[in-house]
Structure formats: C-alpha cells, structure tokens
Amino acid sequence: MKQSIKIIIAVVIVGLAAGVLAWQLRNSQNTKLREAKEAQVPIPTTVESLQLLPQTISGGFSVQGITQPFQEVVVASEATGKISQLYVKQGDVVKAGAILCKVDATLKEIELKSANVQYDKAKNDYEKYLRLQAANNTSTAEVENAHLQMMQWGYNVNSLEQQIKESSVHAPFTGMIVEKLADVGGYLQVGTPVVNLIDIEKLKALLWLDEKAIASIKIGNQVRIRLDAMRDVLILGKVIFVNPKANESGKFQVHVEFNNTMNAKAGMTLRAFFQEESTTDVLLIPKSALVLNSVTPAVFVLEGNKARLQPVALGNSRENQVEVTQGIAANTTIVARGVENVIEGMILTIANTTNSNK
C-alpha cells in the first residue's frame, strides 16, 4: 500500500513539473512573438506640419543672379608686323579710341611717300592729255590710259594709308585692360590678340527665370538690383535682353543693364527684384520643407500620420519660401520642419500644425 502511494505521489510531481515547464515554454514563445511584433513598429519621429492654402502674392518677385561685364572683347591686331610701341599695361583704364599699341609701319610709310609722288605725276600727265585732247593733239586711247594710271596710283595711296592706320590698335570702347596678351618686339599677324578689354562703366546682371516669370518680362522693364556685398544699396537697371529659348532646365536667360556707380566687380552675386501684378492661387512652402537628398525637388506629404515622398516643380524663390507650381494641390498637408529625420512610410508624431496663410 505504501509503495502504491509513493508511486502516485511521484506521478503527480512529474505531471506538475511537466505542466510548469510547458507553461514557461508557452510564456517564453508569447514574449518573443510580442517583442518581434514590436520590433517591426518604427519609433515615431516628431515633426512640424503645414497645410497649404492658396495665397495672393503682390509686389513682384526676386531671383538670384551674377554680374557680368557689359562689354568684353579681345582686341586683336589688324596689321602684320613687329610691335614698335605698347602704351598700356594690365589694370589701365582707357578711353574709346585710345591707341593701345603700334605695329612698325616704317616700310609702309616709305611706300606711301613714293606712291604719292607717282600719283602726283600721273595726275599731271592726265591733266596734260586732257588739254591736248581739247586741242585735238592726242588720241582718246592715250587720255584713257593716263586716267587709268592716275586711278591706279590713287588706289595704291589709299591702300597704304589704310594699312598704316591699321598699324595702330585702338580701344573700341572705354574700359579696363584686364589682360595684356602681347609685348614690344612681338610679331603680330592679322587677328593676333593684343589685350583683353572690359567695360567697367556699366555692368549687366545675368539672370535665369522660369516660364511663369518670363511671361511678364519685356525689354525696357525696370529692375532693382541689390548686390550681396552691398546689401544696403539698391541700383536701378533695365532689361536689355530676353532669350526666347529656354535651357535644358526650362529656364530663360535675361540680361539687366545698370550703371556701375558702386564700383562693383564682374562675378559678384546679386538679387534682382521685378515688379508685377498680383498673382492669385499661389502655393508657397518653406525651404525647410524641401527634401535635400532627393534626386528631384520633393516634399513629404502627410497621409494620416505617415510620410509619402512627393516630387514637385518649383517656381520663384521668395526669401525663405519657394513657390510650388506642380506636384501638390491646395489643402495638402506636408512636413514643414524635421524632414531630415524622415523616410518614406515612417509613422510620425505631429508636434504642431499650421496653415500657409499664417
């Protein structure tokens, strides 16, 4: 009897141990499943959002640009020969028509003196034959031959005078010598560069405008220019060129001329301010909303609390904002700040939501 009781107790203990072990295994499996499920849920990222509402924009727009010389030319020789005199150096300011250098024209000057003597003789001969013809003492053929000789020597004189004139290289406009390309004693051919000359009295702003902005731009429009290096001064300029053909990015080149009263330099950055009529239904986003690591301009659109990457087309920049012309519609909510921590499909925590009219 005692032996049976011991057996029963042993069986009970083994059963209890097996049950406890099974419960622990089941509990461990449930814990692992719960942890695996939780690991698939991303930790929410906190961002600020913005609901886009259409706006009416007045007061025109501005674009960035760069200054360029109003005129720039490589002045070349029109004569062949050795440079006998060079009157300028790098940095000199010259007036239009000033002589920059002279090519040795000694032989041409000697030839000119001889040609003048021959021309005077041919002219006297022609006049003599005209008198003889009037008295019927010479033939018409002799008169015509004398006239031909006079014309030939006259042509030679004019040709030599032109060649001597071309031996002096002149400045085509008032400007600064930014590069000297020849020296005294150097031999020049026709077309050999002598100096690089730029116009410093006026500059032009090189700008690129999109198709929406270019529609209102006309030759002669007034534009205010503010150099980044002289931000407290506005200079008045006017549009002198509008390229009718866009570049590969869909931008149109515009040139704005302005007087260089501030002694600005070519290559300075600037902002050009255009005046235009008010524009309605404009969507503006903060520049902080742009996704910088995207191949094309893009923003994160909020769908509930998830982020979706949306490519957009951008228009004119307005200080800290930029115009969106395609890709999103009014009343869309986007991530305005914190985009650097967002990836597509991520669950987000919205810290603050505003609209674009505020």
Q: Is the pTM of this model over 0.85?
A: no
Q: Is residue 124 part of a domain?
A: yes
Residues 291 and 216 in one domain: no
For the chain, percent of residues with pLDDT exceeding 70: 85
pLDDT bucket at 21, cuts 50 / 70 / 90: very low
Residue 318 counted as domain residue: yes
Last residue of a domain, one of 274, 304, 325: 274
Amino acid at site 59: G
Give residue 243's pLDDT.
96
pLDDT at 323 over 80: yes
Position 28 scores a pLDDT of 55
- Summarised one tens digit per residue, pLDDT across range 335-356 is 999 999 999 999 998 887 787 6
Please identify, among 176, 197, 218, the residue that sits at the C-terminal boundary of a domain.
Answer: 197
119 and 83 within one domain: yes
In percent, the amount of the chain with pLDDT more than 90 equals 62
In a domain, 37, yes or no: no
Confidence of residue 25 (pLDDT cuts 50, 70, 90): very low
Write the DSSP string, 277-334. --EEEEEEEEGGGS-TTSSS-EEEEEETTEEEEEE-EEEEEETTEEEEEES--TT-EE
Is residue 89 domain-shared with residue 126, that is, in the same domain?
yes
**Both 213 and 308 in a single domain?**
no
State the total domains in the chain: 3
Count the Cβ atoms, other than its own, within 10 Å of residue 315.
21
In this prediction, residue 92 carries a pLDDT of: 95
Q: Which residue has the higher pLDDT, 292 or 325?
A: 325
CATH number of the domain that residue 298 is part of: 2.40.420.20
**How many angstroms separate the Cα of 93 from the Cα of each of 183, 200, 338?**
18, 9, 53
pLDDT at 40 over 50: no
In a domain, 104, yes or no: yes
> How many other C-beta atoms lie within 10 A of the C-beta of residue 99?
13
CATH number, domain with residue 137: 2.40.50.100
Instruction: Please report the pLDDT score of residue 136 as a whole number.
Output: 86
For the chain, the average pLDDT equals: 86
pLDDT of residue 33: 41
Task: Give CA–CA dist 313/334, Å, rounded.
Answer: 15
Q: 214 with 258, same domain?
A: yes
Considering only residues 316 and 116, tell me which one the structure prediction assigns the higher pLDDT: 116
Is residue 144 over pLDDT 70?
yes
Q: What is the pLDDT of residue 223?
A: 95
Distance CA 15, CA 160 (A): 129
| Shared domain check, 248 and 169 | no
Q: Are residues 263 and 228 in the same domain?
A: yes
Which pLDDT score, from 0 to 100, does residue 37 have? 46
The residue among 12 and 55 whose pLDDT is bigger is: 55
> What are the start-end ranges of the H helices in 232-276?
none
182 in the same domain as 115: yes
Establish if 5 belongs to a structural domain: no
CB 181 within 8 Å of CB 195: yes
263 and 295 housed in the same domain: no
Assess if residue 33 is contained within a domain.
Answer: no
Q: Which amino acid is at 233?
A: V
Task: Provide the residue range defining the domain that includes 86.
Answer: 72-197
Q: pLDDT of 157-195, one tens digit each?
A: 999 999 899 899 999 999 999 999 999 999 999 999 999
Whether residue 142 lies inside any domain: the answer is: yes
Q: Could you tell me the two tokens for 235?
A: 């200079």
Q: What are phi and psi of 354, to 5 degrees?
A: -125, 175
The candidate with the shortest Cα–Cα distance to 60, out of 284, 325, 238, 316, is 316
Contact 81, 167 (CB under 8 A): yes
Residue 202 and residue 235 in contact, taking contact as beta carbons nearer than 8 Å: no
The enclosing domain of 226 has a CATH number of: 2.40.30.170
Does residue 297 contact residue 326 with C-beta atoms inside 8 Å?
Answer: no
Q: What are the tokens at 358?
A: 């505020």
- Looking at 240, 257, 274, the residue that finishes a domain is 274
Sheet with 168-170, edge to edge strand ranges: 168-170, 99-103, 81-86, 187-188
For residue 44 the two structure tokens come to: 């929410």
**Mean pLDDT, residues 113-128 taken together:** 93
- Answer with the residue of higher pLDDT: 31 or 269: 269
Domain co-membership, 164 together with 210:
no
SS (H, E, C) 202-233: EEEEEEEECHHHHCCCCCCCEEEEEECCCCCC
Helices 140-166 & 106-134 angle (0-180, nearest 10): 160
Q: Are residues 234 and 162 in the same domain?
A: no
Structural domain includes residue 188: yes
Q: Average pLDDT for residues 54-73, to the nearest whole number?
A: 87
SS3 187: strand
Closest CA to 211 of 316, 301, 285, 137: 316
My answer on whether 169 and 93 are in the same domain is: yes
Under the banding of pLDDT at 50, 70 and 90, the label for residue 357 is low
Q: What phi, psi does 317 have (nearest 5°)? A: -90, 140
Q: Are 307 and 342 in contact (CB under 8 A)?
A: yes
pLDDT at position 334: 94
Give the model confidence (pLDDT) of 192-231 as tens digits: 999 999 998 899 999 999 988 898 899 999 999 999 999 8
- 261-309 pLDDT, tens digit per residue, is 888 999 999 999 998 666 788 899 999 999 988 788 999 999 999 999 9
